[in-house]
Amino acid sequence: MIYFDNSATTKPYEEVLDSFVKVNREYYGNPSSLHHYGGKAEQLMTSARQQIADGLSVKPSEIIFTSGGTEGNNLAIKGAALEYKGRGNHMITSEIEHSSVQNSMKQLEEKWGFQVTRLPVDSNGMVCPDDLEKAITDKTILVSLIHVSNEVGTIQPIKEIGKMLKKYPKIIFHVDHVQGAGKVVLPLHDSGIDLCTFSAHKFHGLKGTGFLYKRSGIRLEPIFTGGNQEQTWRSGTENTGGIVAMAKAFRMIEENRVKKGHSLLKVREFLYHELENNDHIIVHTPKKAAPHIINFSVPGLKGEVLVHALEENGFMISTTSACSSKEKTPSQTLKAMGVSDEMALGAVRISLSYENTRTEAVQFLEALKEVIPRLKSVVR
């Protein structure tokens, strides 16, 4: 089996699993408890927080541990909107955000009366910074954008937008960096980012763990209330083992980005070139994009059919975002890019890790050459 679905989730590193098991076996105390076991768990968590903060060049106090990307996006968007609603009720996002961002915005509109501007994107899935600035009003309090598109791999001009937003000091800038972590560098301070979401299972950590970067001075209305853990921002007994494992995964993915980043890019470039030159295939991902994602369609074939046919040949890929792949509706991201409903329904996504090789890419292309004509003959 060759796994090309790393944007849905990654395989945890063995060292990460070992850390999780060891902490849960030997240091299972509640970090809030006063006894030795609790103190040791708290020390481990403090060390993990420091390691992550060091990796991002931020303060440990700016890291809030969460259960993953969805919670991080909800906390950032709803927490900032409700905290700063006295400043205004207008927010700006794009048409190609993850469902956790889209639905958070929708809920704020329907339940609390906020107004949301959803920026269009061009055929490459790119937001225009000028469009964003034109959308700003004196009521705008939040801008929320994805850094790397989870479906097509487009990289938004976050640094340029962050620099522009410095002219508007009352606007909070949130970035969903879930898909970019460990693959595409995002300097938080230089990009003027106030809130930034990460999810461990996208960089070989464990599901159910993540963190939110919150710049010092930014306030949030807590979504979870209870025992006031995480400096009151996120109540709930901390997942010590998962947090320690996440810190390990974050260190390892950054090491691999430095050591193996070039080889990953070469595999992606090889795949992209071959797919782009295949007469049966239309590639939706722009040539200059994240180094691990390629989205394409085979006209006349549904994406779901192609996914299952390739699975029979030992390859794991996906259709759209894993969160919405079972809905069987055209990808909203591709539609926003001007792709037809038929083509969007046929789209599939390859997403690589640093462990994938050129040999696997060659085998995948050979399987495609066999699968596509066979499926087309059945459709005819």
Residue 50 φ then ψ, to 5°: -65, -40
Residue 144 β-bridge partners: 174
For 143-157, write each residue's pLDDT tens digit.
Answer: 999 999 999 999 999
Q: What's the rounded mean pLDDT across residues 255-265?
A: 96
User: In whole angstroms, how far apart are CA 20 and each of 11, 230, 244?
Assistant: 14, 20, 7
Closest CA to 180 of 276, 69, 45: 69
CA distance 46 to 269: 40
CA distance 366 to 370: 7
In three-state secondary structure terms, 328 is coil
Closest CA to 142 of 190, 83, 71: 83
CA distance 210 to 213: 10
Residues tagged active-site:
323
For 309-364, write each residue's pLDDT tens digit.
Answer: 999 999 999 997 555 555 668 899 999 999 999 999 999 999 999 999 999 999 99
Q: What is the largest CA-CA distance in the chain?
A: 71
Q: What's the rounded mean pLDDT across residues 111-116?
A: 97
27: which 2 tokens? 């240091």
What's the confidence (pLDDT) of residue 184? 97
Is pTM beyond 0.75? Reply is yes
User: In whole angstroms, how far apart are CA 296 and each of 38, 245, 334, 336?
Assistant: 50, 34, 10, 15
Pairing of strands 282-283, 293-297: antiparallel
CA distance 330 to 285: 16
pLDDT at 31 over 70: yes
What's the confidence (pLDDT) of residue 321? 55
Under the banding of pLDDT at 50, 70 and 90, the label for residue 230 is confident
Residue 175 β-bridge partners: 145, 196
Under the banding of pLDDT at 50, 70 and 90, the label for residue 13 is very high
- Name residues whose C-beta falls within 8 Å of residue 271's C-beta, 6 or more positions apart in sequence: 294, 350, 361, 364, 365
What's the confidence (pLDDT) of residue 327? 63
